[in-house]
Structures are given as C-alpha cells and as structure tokens.
Amino acid sequence: MNGCLAAVGFYDQIKGNSLVRTKKISPEQMNKQISRFKELEPQSSAYEQADGVPKEAYEMLTAKTLYLLMSPENQGGPMAQQPAVITKDKMSIIIAECPPGDRPMLHAHHNTNETFFCLDGRFRIRWGDEGENEITLDPYDMIAVPPGVVRDFTNITDHTARLLVIITGEDEDAFNDIEMTPGEAKRVVEQHGEHVLDHFRKIGMNFEAGIDT
C-alpha cells in the first residue's frame, strides 16, 4: 500500500502536482469515433453530387474507389467529403480499393506527407515526374513518400486489392496541395472533355506537376 501511495505521489510530482483525470464518454459519443467499412460511401459519389464531376472521371483521377475513414472537419483538398470519423489531428486516413490494373493519376503533394500501406494484394509504387522509378509493396509493406515527389500506385494482382493511405499536414489548408502531371491532363481531356478538366480545377486540382516555373 505504501508503495502505491509513493507511486501516486511521484506521478503528481512529475505532473506539477496536478492529478490527470480520465474521461468518460457515452456509447453514443463513442459511436462517432467508429468507422464501419460496410457503411462508407465512395468519395466519387460525393463529388458527382456536389461538383458536377462524372464518377468515371473522378475514379480515373484518384483510383477506382476511395473510402474516407477519418479527417479533420474542415480539411481542404479534393478528398475530404464526409469523413466517417472527424479528428482534431491533421491527418486523413483513406482506403483505396482498386480492381486489377487500377491506379490514380501521377500526382504530387507539396505540403503534406503521404504514406502507403499495403493491406492485401500487391501494389506497384511509381515515382518521378514520368513515373520512371518503381518498387513493389506486398501485404503489410509500407512506403512514406516525401512531399514534392510525383507518385502513383497500381494494383498489379488479378483481383481487387486495398491500400491504406495516410496523409498528414501542418494545418487543414495544407491538404489542398495536389498537382497532377500535364500528361494526365491530356488523358482527362481525351476521355471526358475540357469541361471536366475545368471542374477538377474548381475543386482544387491542377495539372502542372513537374513543370519548371
């Protein structure tokens, strides 16, 4: 008993004589902290409704299906519609669900850090302005891509595979930092028309990654 009291006394001392209390929350409050995968809506559906971007064009831009598990409430950028869990941390957590051969466009994040963690299947990670370098992620492999580097990921299996994507930044506006390459802009125009490219620009996308200014 004396040992327990001594331990409590020491804990009070290192906390400046202020006892740290735990918090109690209700089941209803805890439910707001839970992301149920089967209840998530793809990000492409949100943008099709809100911004006039065709679902097929959005999926071409970002990978077939993105599920936003968690993000700050007022996060900027084009991948922040209706998170399942709202956090005060400057962090976005996404599951990319990709059929065979699916990939997002080559893109760069300038102010945020993007990390890829392979949940299942196998993913080729490319980087460089033309995607000239590559490595492969097997299940439970991870790569943290530095800001400013052009990158993409491709499901190289013959079945649907999932990649966990974690993006962190200094503040919520930092997430509005995504650039695609000019070559990808050409693909958008060829498949969907110039007007769709204009819609993408309205939601924060631009297509100048790799261009020297």
Instruction: Give yes or no for a contact between 98 and 163, defined as CB atoms under 8 angstroms apart.
Output: yes
Instruction: Give yes or no for a contact between 136 and 122, defined as CB atoms under 8 angstroms apart.
Output: yes
Instruction: Give yes or no for a contact between 95 and 119, defined as CB atoms under 8 angstroms apart.
Output: yes
Instruction: Give yes or no for a contact between 90 and 168, defined as CB atoms under 8 angstroms apart.
Output: yes
Domains in the chain, CATH or no CATH each: 51-202 (2.60.120.10)
Segment 14-55, tens digit of pLDDT: 555 667 789 999 999 999 999 999 888 887 666 555 566 777
Enumerate residues 6+ apart whose C-beta is below 8 A from 212: none
Segment 52-102, tens digit of pLDDT: 677 788 788 888 899 999 988 877 666 667 889 999 889 999 999 999 999
> In 3D, which of 81, 75, 86 has the Cα closest to residue 62?
81
